[in-house]
A and B are shown apart, each in its own frame.
Chain A
Amino acid sequence: METGVLELERLSVEAEGHCLLRDVSLTLEKGELLALTGPSGCGKTTLLRSVAGIIDPAAGRVTFLGLPPGEHGWPAYRRRVTYVTQRPVMFEASVRENLARPFGYSSAAGVVFPARRAAKLLELLGLGGERMDQQARSLSVGQQLRVSFVRALLLDPAVLLLDEPASALDEESAGMLREQLEREVQARGLSALLVTHDRSEASRWCHRRVDLRKYACIEFDDEESADG
C-alpha cells in the first residue's frame, strides 16, 4: 500500500501555553483534498502553521514523503508543503515581484521564475491584463488572496496548506480557485490540507473531511461549527 504524502502523528498544538488540539493523527494521500473543520478558535490555523513548520508543535511529528521536514531541509520542505495564509501577505512590490520573489531564494536551486505560467494562472483566476505590474498591496483582499494562491502554485508544491481559502472571496472567485485546485490535482497529483469553520465549504472543496473537535482540548458546542 502506498504511504501518504503527508502524515501527522499525534500532533498537539498550543497557544501561549494553552492546549488547543491534542493528538491529531491523519494521513494525506497523493491527489487528495482533505478538509479539517472546527469552530473558530479551536486551533485550525495553529495546526496549519505547525504543519508548515512556521512554529513548532507542542508534541507529535509531521512527515513528508516518509521523512521529517528537517531531513528535506526546512526551506526545501516549505517549498513543497506550501502555506497559503487566510489573510494574504503581500510584499511591498508589484504583483510580478511578489510572484517572482521565491525564485530568488537559494532553495529555488536555480529554477527560473515561470513568467508565462504566472500570467496564465492569474488569467485563470480572473486577474489578467495589466495586473502583473500593479502594486500588490493596492489590490483588494480577494485579489491579493488569489495572487498568494498563484504564488504558492508556481512553486509546484506537493501539498498546499490552505487556511479558509474562500473566506474573502465572492462565489465566482471562490469557484475559479476551486476549479484551478481541481486542475492541479488532476494534472500533477497535488494534495491539499484545507482548514475551514464551514462544513458545507469543506464538502464543496474537498474529498474528505476530518472534524477537529474530537481533538480539541476544550469542548465546543456543535452549533459553532454549523454548516455555513
Chain B
Amino acid sequence: MVDRAAAGVIELQALDLVLAAVLVLVAGLVSMLLRLGLEKRLLVAAMRTVVQLLLIGYLLKWVFRIESLTLVLGLALLMIIAASRAAVTRPARTFAGVSWLAFLSLTVTGMVTTITVTGLIVGVDPWWRPQYMIPLLGMILGNGLTGVSLSLDLLLESLAEKREEVEMELALGASAREAARGPMAFAIRRGMIPIINTMMVVGIVALPGMMTGQILSGTDPLDAVKYQIVVMFMIAGATSLGCMGITLLAGCRLFNRRHQLEAHRIRRR
C-alpha cells in the first residue's frame, strides 16, 4: 500500500469524499430507523455543503491566482454585507436603519483587525494578499456577527422591556448617555461572553478549526498554535469592537438630542 502521508499533505481523491458521504448516510439511516423525518433535510444539507464549498473553493482559487486588490476588496465587501444581514436578522427586535449600523460596525472592526494582523503582526506583503486576507476576514466576521447580533438583541430587548426605567432615569435628570449606560453595558457584556468562554477552554475541550486544518495539512503543531493564538486574540479584539460599535451606534440612533428614548422605533420582527 502507498504511504500517502509521506509527502506531508495527503491529497483527498473523489473516492475519499464518497467514503465520507457514507457517514452522512449513517445519519440518514438513524433518522429513518427512529422516524425523525430528517432524511430529506439531511440530503439537502449535504448537497448544499458540497455545492457551496466547491463554489467557494473555485472562487478562492481564482481570487488567489489573480491577486488583485480590487477583487479582494470586492469579495471582502460581499462578505461584510452577508455578515451584516445575518447579524441583524437574528435579534427578535429591529429598527429602521439597523442594517447600515451593523454594516458600518462590521466593516470598521473587520477591516481594522484584519489589516492589523496581515500588515503588522504576520507582516504579509502586500497586506491584502488574498490567501491571508480572505480567511482571516472570514473568521473575524463569523465570530463578529455573533457578537454583534447578541449585543443588538440584548440592547433592543432591554430598551423595550425596561423602557419605563430608562424614561424614569431621564425624568430624574439623567442624560441620554447616563440613562443608556446600564442597557448598553449589559448588551456589550452579553456579546463578548461567547468569545471569552471560547478562549477559556480553547485547546482543552476542542482544537479550533483553523489549527486542526493546519495540523492536518502538515504544519508543525507549535507553529499552528502560534497562529491560533494570534487568531484568538484577533477574534476577541474584533468581537469586542464590533459589540461596542453596534451598541454605541444603535444607542445614538435610539436616543435623540433632546435626551429622549425613541422607543417607538423599536419593533418586533
Query: Which A residues fall within an 8 A CB radius of B?
Result: 52-56, 69-70, 74-76, 78-79, 82-83, 85, 87, 89, 91, 101-102, 105-108, 151-152, 155
Contact = CB atoms under 8 A, between A and B. Distances in A.
A105 B173 contact: yes
A70 B168 CA distance: 19
Given A53-B258, A56-B258, A89 B165 contact: yes
A155 B174 CA distance: 12
A128 B260 CA distance: 35
A83 B171 contact: yes
Given A53-B259, A69-B258, 13 more contacts: A54-B170, A56-B260, A76-B173, A78-B170, A82-B171, A85-B168, A89-B164, A89-B168, A102-B174, A107-B173, A108-B173, A152-B172, A155-B173
B175 A105 contact: yes
A155 B172 CA distance: 8
Interface in B163-207: 164-165, 167-175, 178
B173 A79 contact: yes
Nearest to B182: A91
A75 B260 contact: no
22 contacts: A53-B258, A53-B259, A54-B167, A54-B171, A69-B258, A75-B173, A76-B173, A78-B173, A78-B259, A83-B171, A85-B164, A85-B168, A85-B171, A91-B165, A91-B168, A102-B172, A102-B173, A102-B174, A105-B173, A107-B174, A107-B175, A152-B172
Contacts of A79: 172-173
Contacts of B170: 54, 75, 78
B260 A105 contact: no
4 A-B pairs with least C-beta separation:
A79-B173, A89-B168, A107-B173, A102-B172
Contacts of B259: 53, 74-75, 78
A145 to B, nearest CB: 13
Contact of A75 (B164, B165, B167, B175): B175
Sorting the interface of chain B by its residue count into under 10, 10 to 19, 20 to 34 or 35 or more gives 10 to 19
Nearest to B175: A75
Nearest to B171: A83
A83 B168 CA distance: 8
Nearest to A91: B165
A85 B170 CA distance: 13
Contacts of A89: 164-165, 167-168
Interface in B240-260: 258-260
Contacts of A52: 171
A162 B181 CA distance: 27
Contacts of B172: 78-79, 82, 101-102, 105, 151-152, 155
A106 B164 CA distance: 21
Contact of A70 (B167, B171, B174, B258): B258
Contact of A54 (B165, B173, B260): B260
B253 to A, nearest CB: 16
